[in-house]
Amino acid sequence: MPEQNVDYRKYLTPSVISKLNSLELRARLVVEGFMVGLHRSPYHGFSVEFTEHRPYMQGDAPKDIDWNVYGKTEKFFIKQYEEETNLRSYILLDTSRSMQYASEGNISKLEYASTLVAALGYLMTKQQDAVGLTLYSEKINKYLPPKASKAYLQELLKQLSDVTASDKTNTASCLNSIAEKIKRRGLVIIVSDFFDDINSILSALKHFRYQNNEVIVFQILDPLERNFAFGSDAVFRDLETADEMTTQPYQIQKAYVEAMNVFLNKIKTECLNSNIEYNLIETSVPFDKALFSYVQKRSRLY
């Protein structure tokens, strides 16, 4: 049983959770912090419990009695779980070199994304859903189809723990390849900075919708990638091509921010028009924002 005086909400903060070496521990604490937060404003009344109860009947196994409910009601109830998997989820994580960027005081986009994906996998498994994982950059580096078991979750966490940013981005091609692999409709979650040809990416995202999959997009950005508030002279190096440029950021900040906003608004608008749930997440933002978006989407599927 968790200690009552532990503030699990603090583990939703990227800078705090990043100090833990174990990705499995990170995932568990992020989910526990999220669950605590669901019972407070603004999430009061929202539930992620997907079990039902029925009265105890003669012949039921005592191990299935919910003793917490008995403690509150002094009546015996049995936990009733669905025998079949509730949902099949496909999580796609961009591991290209651009994802390794981190400004001072923030964790890298890949570290943030990996922790988020691990927490999603932990939460899905807890809900008895099947979850799969795809790691991609220029090509698909790893494809693990959805399964629903705690043992399988360990394999997913191992793959995520070993992830390093490498190669250039070829998001559109990879997404199209993955879409062809999905034979049974489900929930597709893409986690990326989407620094690639925007029109090709949008076309690939719609590919999943053509197959009647539900889709959630998490676009992960560092705060400086949005506001370009670098201040003094700086040398900028492309993480994927190694090209360098020396400039005074304040001179181009306005034009950069305008171009970035056009880029982000196009993704958001096209996603919404295609009934794709879009989330823009900065690496300084607590993890509950993304987890709550997933839980809301899941609740609407039933």
Amino acid present at 282: E
Mean pLDDT of 206-215: 93
How many beta carbons lie within 10 A of that of residue 50, not counting itself?
16
For residue 158, the cross-strand partners are none
Res 271 pLDDT > 90: yes
Range with the lowest mean pLDDT among 55-64, 110-119, 177-186? 55-64
The reported pLDDT for the residue numbered 266 is 96
Please enumerate in sequence order all residues whose Cβ is within 8 A of that of 118, keeping only pairs 6 or more positions apart, or say none: 23, 24, 26, 27, 30, 156, 157, 160
The reported pLDDT for the residue numbered 157 is 97
Res 128 pLDDT > 90: no
Share of the chain above pLDDT 90, in %: 57
The reported pLDDT for the residue numbered 184 is 86
More confident residue, 239 or 44: 239
Res 285 pLDDT > 60: yes
Residue ranges of domains in the chain: 52-81, 88-300
Res 65 pLDDT > 70: yes
Q: Which pLDDT tens digit goes with each residue over 73-82?
A: 777 777 654 4
The reported pLDDT for the residue numbered 3 is 47
Amino acid present at 234: A
Mean pLDDT of 215-239: 77
Please enumerate in sequence order all residues whose Cβ is within 8 A of that of 132, keeping only pairs 6 or more positions apart, or say none: 88, 89, 90, 91, 143, 144, 145, 146, 147
Q: Which pLDDT tens digit goes with each residue over 34-44?
A: 988 775 544 44
Res 52 pLDDT > 60: no
More confident residue, 80 or 299: 299
Mean pLDDT of 97-107: 93
Mean pLDDT of the chain: 84
The reported pLDDT for the residue numbered 186 is 93
HEC secondary structure over the chain:
CCCCCCCHHHHHCHHHHCCCCCHHHHHHHHHHHHHHHHCCCCCCCCCCCCCEEEECCCCCCHHHECHHHHHHHCCCEEEECCCCCCCEEEEEEECCHHHHCCCCCCCCHHHHHHHHHHHHHHHHHHCCCEEEEEEECCCEEEEEEEECCHHHHHHHHHHHHCCCCCCCCCHHHHHHHHHHHCCCCCEEEEEECCCCCHHHHHHHHHHHHHCCCEEEEEEEECHHHHHCCCCCCEEEECCCCCCEEEECHHHHHHHHHHHHHHHHHHHHHHHHHCCCEEEEEECCCCCHHHHHHHHHHHHHCC
Model confidence at 237, pLDDT cuts 50, 70, 90, reads low
Share of the chain above pLDDT 70, in %: 81
Please give the Cα distance from 133 to 160 (Å, whole number).
9
Please enumerate in sequence order all residues whose Cβ is within 8 A of that of 240, keeping only pairs 6 or more positions apart, or say none: 96, 97, 98, 167, 168, 169
Model confidence at 51, pLDDT cuts 50, 70, 90, reads very low
Model confidence at 69, pLDDT cuts 50, 70, 90, reads confident
Cα–Cα–Cα angle for 215, 217, 221, nearest 5°? 175
Could you tell me the two tokens for 258?
């305008």
Mean pLDDT of 259-279: 95
Architecture of the domain delimited by 88-300: 3-Layer(aba) Sandwich (3.40)
Radius of gyration for the chain, computed over Cα atoms and rounded to the nearest angstrom: 21
Mean pLDDT of 8-26: 91
More confident residue, 2 or 151: 151
Mean pLDDT of 55-59: 70
Mean pLDDT of 113-131: 94
